[in-house]
Structure 1
Amino acid sequence: MSGPVTGPVSPDLVGFEPVCELTAIAPETGVAALVHGVGVAVFRTHADEVFALGNVDPFSGASVLSRGIVGTRGEVPVVSSPMYKQAFDLRTGRCLDDVSAAVDSYDVAVVAGSVLVGPVRVPAPLDDLVDDLVDDLAREAG
């Protein structure tokens, strides 16, 4: 399945591209897709949540994140790079092991069993991310 969505489209889904059927992504795994000419990794969690991040590992430069290990760190859904094992928050793309690193995060929708990937999300300000990380660490410790 590729190309733009055809037929009547909700205004909220303009710019989204179909990637695959949800059933094509096993829980706790990812798949690679080309969306608007960019390599994207699409993940399905054990809880059936679907996320999309840029597929290039910023530490190695390799397009491998779709083959990473999907899980959680505390309550944060993550993918760990198969190269050097850094964990990336599936919700934001931020690296949990190095706050200076991140990958793009994309809007995702599941419509009638099809996974659609939309535009890149605008990153949250770094101060908000640091506050979130501190809160996550405090929950893990306490």
Structure 2
Amino acid sequence: MTAVLELQEETTAAATGWHRVCPVAELEPAWGEAALIAGRQVALFRTASDEVYAVSQEDPATGAHVMARGIIGSRGDRPTIASPLHKEVYDLVTGECFGNAELNLPTFNARIVDGHIEVEL
């Protein structure tokens, strides 16, 4: 698997903003990958329960494009990603930072359709 997944195919319904990125089988559970989607760097994550999440690849605290290398975890029933640089922990659904209310990680809707991950930008 390459560090940056290449966008394989965009959905025909471009007006909706959904982009087909890759087969879900190409993402290992609990491991992030970066994808370039319509010119935007996005970090993709697949959890052990086969849920998929998409967030900005840019670390809100530093501006470095590293979030795909973060550590997957949870706070209660909320899935989280910890930045690999300063270990700030973000909610994968809302982008809320648990340790610093001034930081927010942009999130994107993600879904699995016909075995492929699609992301809405």
Size of the alignment, in residue pairs?
115
Which position in structure 1 is the counterpart of 2:4? none
Partner SS state of residue 10, structure 2: coil
| Higher normalized contact order (CA 8 Å, seq sep 6+, divided by chain length) | 2
Gaps of 5+ in 2: 1-6
C-alpha separation in 1, matches of 2:39 and 2:88: 25
Gaps of 5+ in 1: 120-142
C-alpha separation in 1, matches of 2:73 and 2:50: 12
- Paired residues of 1:21 and 1:114 also in contact (CA < 8 A): yes
- Paired residues of 1:33 and 1:42 also in contact (CA < 8 A): yes
Whichever structure has more strand as a proportion of its residues is 2
Partner SS state of residue 115, structure 1: strand
Aligned sequence identity (%):
37
Post-superposition offset of 1:36 = 2.0
Give the one of 20, 23, 31 matched to 2:22.
Answer: 20
Which position in structure 1 is the counterpart of 2:46? 44
- Paired residues of 2:10 and 2:21 also in contact (CA < 8 A): no
Post-superposition offset of 1:20 = 1.1
Post-superposition offset of 1:3 = 4.1
Superposition TM-score, scaled by structure 2 size: 0.87
1:5 maps to amino acid: T
1:77 lines up with 2:82 in the alignment: no
C-alpha separation in 1, matches of 2:30 and 2:9: 26
1:66 maps to amino acid: A
- Paired residues of 1:2 and 1:17 also in contact (CA < 8 A): no
C-alpha separation in 2, matches of 1:41 and 1:95: 16
Which position in structure 2 is the counterpart of 1:32? 34
CA deviations 1:59-102 (Å, max 9, x no partner) are 12110001111111222100101101111100011111111111
- Paired residues of 1:4 and 1:15 also in contact (CA < 8 A): no
Superposition TM-score, scaled by structure 1 size: 0.75
Partner SS state of residue 107, structure 1: strand
Partner SS state of residue 72, structure 2: strand
